[in-house]
Structure 1
Amino acid sequence: MKLNIRDQVEKYDGMILPLYEDGLATKVLSLPLDELQGSKKFEGKMGTTYKLTAVVESSLKEIVLLGLGKKDDLNFRKLLNGFADAYRLVKKQKTEKVVLHIENLEHQEILAKAATEAVLMADYSFDLKTKEKEDKEIELDMITSVDMKIINEAYVLAESNLVARDLVNQPANLMYPETLAEKVLELGEEKGFEVEIFELEAIEAMEMEAFLSVAKASDRDPRLIVMRYKGNPDSDEVLGYVGKGLTYDSGGLSIKPTTGMVTMKSDMGGAAAVIGAMTAIADMELKVNVTAVVAACENMISGNAYRPGDIIGSMGGKSIFIGNTDAEGRLTLIDAMHYIVTRENVNKVLDIATLTGAAIYCTGDAASAAISNNDDFFKAVNESFNKSGEQIWRMPIFDEYKELIKHEEADLTNTAGNPGTITAGLFIGEFTGDLPWTHIDIAGTAFSKKEKGILSKGGTGAAVKPLYYLAKNEEA
């Protein structure tokens, strides 16, 4: 899709016309709005749409009305999904040139931002079908006079979200540790952040035994991917991100059922989130320092696989009892966490992962689950999610939960039991030192089974935008 920003209407065959519920009127076209409102077919309620075909200047136009709700009750999340639904509806009419009118509407800045992000994300789809020559791409003209800085940021955020979606959606035979590392190198060169790749020998030299235990059954060697963005070289403050990078998870010897393995290319959703966020941070040239780390590997099965009942070590020096080889993500994360805390001089750290099925029982696909050891840091994380239109919910940390991750034969166990989302997070928290830390579990939000709102089927790009805003909040 091609997006243009204009100050007047040019030729078009489709139109998206947003309207407020309390003030259902427009000067753009002559439409029977009173009749529609009276019949309750369209009243302008938030997120509602109504399609009609009208003759304008002697030619047929496909018109989609979009309800914005009440002027003083805007909700960015609902606006995103509303604009996405309206765009998909007009696109289905085989339109080639669509005009989106937000000029002269109140709250034009938030509308322009939501519309830009929404139409770009709603236009995305992924497949690897053999295709004939692509049809002409749809062109959308947005009629607005807002500052282009707002549009540019929204465009960058949408594109970075799609970078993450593409990473997750690539099948595991194409996206594995080596190719993921190569892709990050390309993005770093393109966007302007430093990338360092540690291969097997270097990982072994750092004694990342937990990470290597997960990786060793695969024929594909692991990669430790380190991304550094130095937007404020005069500052010693560095924000740290750690993303789970399981490019495929069979469950290991604690093997998943086939139905559970089909979508396990998505187990790198946390890695995709931090990679996507780094592209946005660099693209927008934020005056902040951010370092992101991904321990990328596959969790497979072979005679060399780690076993339930094993006791393994870790880069942080703690021993771990393996109760289940399908609780592997936390093992890769702890070595990545210890690395970033001890070797990259970060001042606060956030890890993000498709970590536990239990998270889906906590918050479903509507929100990501979180735990944190620092109220101020979590407040900043929460505000970043709110600003992006995504949702997060903080779980409690009780002393009783901390006892569950201990084991009689080792320092820790990777299977502490319920509440699984919290104990898995606390396991990672054992390796954060004294730093402010937040853990985010996106198991329920990183992958969508169907197209809805701004989401396409497959990877969602969850948390890319919040991680960008969190970094922006750290700017000097």
Structure 2
Amino acid sequence: MARSPLPPVPSPLIDVEVGAAARRGEPLAAVLPRDAETPYAELAESLRAAGKAGEVHVVPDGHGARWLVGAGDGGQKQYRAAGAAFARAANSFAEAEADAGGRPPRTVQAMLPPEAGAEQVAAFATGALLGGYRYVVTGEERKPGVRRLRLLTGHEGAVPACADAVRRAGRLAAATALARDLANTPSNVKNPAWLAGVAERVAGEVSGLSVTVRDQDWLAAQGFGGMLAVGGGSASPPRLIELSYRPRGASTHLLLVGKGITFDTGGLSIKPAEGMHLMRTDMAGGGAVIAAVRAVAALGLPVRVTALVPAAENHVSGSAYRPGDIVRHYGGRTTEVLNTDAEGRMVLADALAYGVRRFSPDAVVDVATLTGAMKVALGLRTGGLFASDDALAERVREAGERAGEQWWRMPLLDAHADDVRSEIADVRQAPPGPGGITAALFLREFTSGLPWAHLDIAGPARAERNYDEVVPGGTGFAARTLVELVASYA
């Protein structure tokens, strides 16, 4: 049988361990915060290494370390950038050694400064795990890369606390990597059934996490009109992916909902050809939710979580839904369709209404690559945060800060609430006005007044180049924030 050119999902990440002393024969990097007094200060000056975060200098032979890696002002963001830059440099070195006929290293070491605490060590590990991430569909052999990173604290007493922090960071990094895998998988493979199958498989690897997949017959019987309308134009029917994590003694129940559009042509309101290939990542919100709940269960957090991913393809065919259609969602609410390229809110409306009625959670958070308006407003590195509850909004923002993901709260302007009303249905799906705000106001109609947050990740869900721990392609943005959010209720 021919070997599949697709990378495995989840992608394997490097192993990270923590120790106190360097081992002979394994390449070593010295991590230098800016203006720090270290044994490598004179060498850094000779190499003009200023200690800028993510700056890597190759050291001439005979100086102990092979690389000097800058960590900036020593904050967690700077340590993540340093770890990512080092992982890329180490992998490049391994490839060069292999190309030259040498023996590429399997393990590399990084000596962190004595003042680096467990949080900085964990941040460096996060950067290394994610900065070295690769997703390439190829028939060629995978390029050699580093398989293990040994982080050195300099003194034995710091090892246990740092090791615990690194293990937790590894779980969060694995969530980001899985979300990237799901977003990066090409849509000739990734249809709703494939996404559901992967969710079942990866959830089955973690104790306490269960998955139920609902097919199109069940969706029709239950009245999921939004999902059926959006998925009606595709040969691949929609699926509702339901993940459940119910630890004993949990007193809080969160509902997470992620947009799962596995490819988006725009439907009859078709997108321009330029850029449409990127729509394989239009299920990045759903991927983040699947990955986050898997990490929550792996960490054993004492919080009940239910996750819903309404998965569908938005295609063009004789059975595609049309502008002007009236769609009846789960629970009976009706929507006037104005633009078939505003499909994400159609499937989210069904899932939100179902999740709220079926599970009665304490709070609801949805995640979606929803509007180009958020890319215009906030750029490509910041997620838009809308919330009906100030306390929940602050929890999300603080969770993002801990995770290293930036959110900016946007207003839910009641002045535009009437714009969502329709003359011939309960609501209209794509009214005029500020696009990100009206989309959020539309979703709010299906939350039954519960504390609710909407995370629009249209900008930061994809990247075109390396920055910090981010690599080109799907970024996995929001997965770590969701884990930290759940942890905040523990």
Q: Give TM class, smaller chain.
A: over 0.9
Q: Is the 8 A contact 1:24 1:43 kept in 2?
A: no
Match of 1:78 in 2: 78
Match of 1:123 in 2: 132
SS where residue 219 of structure 1 aligns?
coil
Match of 1:113 in 2: 122
Structure 1 Cα separation of the partners of residues 293 and 25 of structure 2 = 37
Moved more, 283-292 or 312-321: 312-321
Structure 2 Cα separation of the partners of residues 156 and 139 of structure 1 = 16
Match of 1:16 in 2: 29
Structure 2 Cα separation of the partners of residues 131 and 348 of structure 1 = 47
Percentage of identical aligned residues: 33
Match of 2:5 in 1: none
Structure 2 Cα separation of the partners of residues 143 and 343 of structure 1 = 49
Q: Could you report, residue by residue, the CA deviation over 1:269-308 in whole angstroms, capped at 9, with x for unpaired residues?
A: 0001101101110111111100000100100111111111
Structure 1 Cα separation of the partners of residues 482 and 445 of structure 2 = 22
Q: Could you report, residue by residue, the CA deviation over 1:111-146 in whole angstroms, capped at 9, with x for unpaired residues?
A: 211111111111111111002365364432211324
Matched AA of 2:109 = V
Match of 2:199 in 1: 184
Match of 1:347 in 2: 362
Q: Could you report, residue by residue, the CA deviation over 1:157-195 in whole angstroms, capped at 9, with x for unpaired residues?
A: 111111111111100111111111111111111012011
Structure 2 Cα separation of the partners of residues 36 and 16 of structure 1 = 12
SS where residue 263 of structure 1 aligns?
helix
Q: What is the TM-score when the length of structure 2 is the normalising length?
A: 0.90
Q: Is the 8 A contact 1:2 1:137 kept in 2?
A: no
Deviation, structure 1 residue 56: 4.9
Correspondence for 1:62 among 39, 61, 66: 66
Provide structure 1 residue ranges, at least 5 long, that are not aligned to the other structure.
none
SS where residue 53 of structure 1 aligns?
coil
SS where residue 90 of structure 2 aligns?
helix
Structure 2 Cα separation of the partners of residues 18 and 195 of structure 1 = 43
Match of 2:236 in 1: 220
User: What are the equivalent positions in structure 2 for 1:227-242 lying under 5 Å apart?
Assistant: 227-231=243-247, 233-242=248-257
Structure 2 Cα separation of the partners of residues 47 and 137 of structure 1 = 18
Structure 2 Cα separation of the partners of residues 143 and 92 of structure 1 = 22
Q: Could you report, residue by residue, the CA deviation over 1:357-388 in whole angstroms, capped at 9, with x for unpaired residues?
A: 11100111120001100000111111000000
Match of 1:267 in 2: 282
> Is 1:392 paired with 2:402?
no
Structure 1 Cα separation of the partners of residues 444 and 296 of structure 2 = 26
Correspondence for 2:478 among 463, 471, 474: 463
Structure 1 Cα separation of the partners of residues 463 and 18 of structure 2 = 31
Q: 1:451 to 1:36 in 2, by over 3 A?
A: closer
Structure 1 Cα separation of the partners of residues 110 and 168 of structure 2 = 19
Structure 1 Cα separation of the partners of residues 148 and 354 of structure 2 = 46
TM-align CA RMSD: 1.8
Q: Is the 8 A contact 1:77 1:390 kept in 2?
A: no
Q: What is the TM-score when the length of structure 1 is the normalising length?
A: 0.92
Matched AA of 2:83 = F
Deviation, structure 1 residue 21: 2.4
Q: Is the 8 A contact 1:62 1:93 kept in 2?
A: no
Paired residues, number: 460
User: What are the equivalent positions in structure 2 for 1:90-105 lying under 5 Å apart?
Assistant: 90-94=90-94, 96=105, 97-102=107-112, 105=114
Q: 1:411 to 1:130 in 2, by over 3 A?
A: same
Q: 1:253 to 1:112 in 2, by over 3 A?
A: same
SS where residue 228 of structure 1 aligns?
strand
SS where residue 259 of structure 1 aligns?
coil
Matched AA of 2:447 = T
Q: Is the 8 A contact 2:16 2:166 kept in 1?
A: no
Deviation, structure 1 residue 418: 2.7
Structure 1 Cα separation of the partners of residues 171 and 399 of structure 2 = 16
> Is 1:204 paired with 2:220?
yes
Moved more, 129-138 or 14-23: 129-138
Q: Could you report, residue by residue, the CA deviation over 1:175-216 in whole angstroms, capped at 9, with x for unpaired residues?
A: 111111111111111012011111111111110111111011
Q: Is the 8 A contact 1:316 1:431 kept in 2?
A: no
Structure 2 Cα separation of the partners of residues 291 and 322 of structure 1 = 29
Provide structure 2 residue ranges, at least 5 long, that are not aligned to the other structure.
1-13, 95-103, 154-158
Structure 1 Cα separation of the partners of residues 150 and 33 of structure 2 = 21
SS where residue 92 of structure 1 aligns?
helix
SS where residue 333 of structure 2 aligns?
coil
Deviation, structure 1 residue 264: 0.6
Moved more, 246-255 or 84-93: 84-93
User: What are the equivalent positions in structure 2 for 1:47-58 lying under 5 Å apart?
Assistant: 47-56=54-63
Match of 2:19 in 1: 6
Structure 1 Cα separation of the partners of residues 72 and 454 of structure 2 = 35
SS where residue 66 of structure 2 aligns?
strand
Q: 1:6 to 1:75 in 2, by over 3 A?
A: closer
Q: Could you report, residue by residue, the CA deviation over 1:437-466 in whole angstroms, capped at 9, with x for unpaired residues?
A: 000000001111123321121111101111
Matched AA of 1:415 = A
Structure 2 Cα separation of the partners of residues 407 and 75 of structure 1 = 50
Q: Could you report, residue by residue, the CA deviation over 1:388-433 in whole angstroms, capped at 9, with x for unpaired residues?
A: 0110001112221212211222221111123101111111111001
Q: Could you report, residue by residue, the CA deviation over 1:309-333 in whole angstroms, capped at 9, with x for unpaired residues?
A: 1122111322211111000000000
Structure 2 Cα separation of the partners of residues 51 and 310 of structure 1 = 62
User: What are the equivalent positions in structure 2 for 1:310-389 lying under 5 Å apart?
Assistant: 310-389=325-404
Q: Is the 8 A contact 2:84 2:469 kept in 1?
A: yes
Match of 1:164 in 2: 179
Q: 1:128 to 1:140 in 2, by over 3 A?
A: same
Structure 1 Cα separation of the partners of residues 259 and 228 of structure 2 = 14
Q: Is the 8 A contact 1:24 1:44 kept in 2?
A: no
Structure 2 Cα separation of the partners of residues 310 and 40 of structure 1 = 66
